Amino acid sequence: MIYNLDKINEMAEGDEDFITSVISVFLEEVPEDLESLEKAIGCKDYENIYKLAHKIKPNVDILGMEQTRAKALEIETLGKTAGSMEEIEEKFPILKKDVLQVVTELKNDFNL
């Protein structure tokens, strides 16, 4: 398991509906953002690479996915500074693998 609910639990203060809502939003938005990010990388669209990595970052952070958040930050920074596309292309598969793994785990763990 590469996610943990410590941050969400702290925010929720026992509100299970809140936790389920946050998980549901993650499951709806992050895979779409990831797909858009992959397309932006394919088009070498630095502006959208930056924007999408920036959008993904807090979503993985709230699930305690520190390494994934760090990878999103690296991609965000490279997109913002029009850095090495080769580096972006190396980092993205790791981000994608982690996010897709967590999507599967969350769907199973929360029966969503």
The one-digit pLDDT tens for each residue of the chain (112 residues) are 789 999 999 999 999 999 999 999 999 999 999 999 999 999 999 999 999 999 999 999 999 999 999 999 999 999 999 999 999 999 999 999 999 999 999 999 999 8
Q: What is the pTM of this model?
A: 0.93
Residue 32, burial from CB neighbour count under 10 angstroms (0-12, 13-18, 19+): exposed
- According to the model, what pLDDT value does residue 112 have? 87
Give CA–CA dist 41/43, Å, rounded. Answer: 5
> What is the chain's length?
112
- According to the model, what pLDDT value does residue 50 have? 98
Give CA–CA dist 88/76, Å, rounded. Answer: 9
Dihedral (Cα; 56, 3, 88, 39), 10-degree rounding:
-50
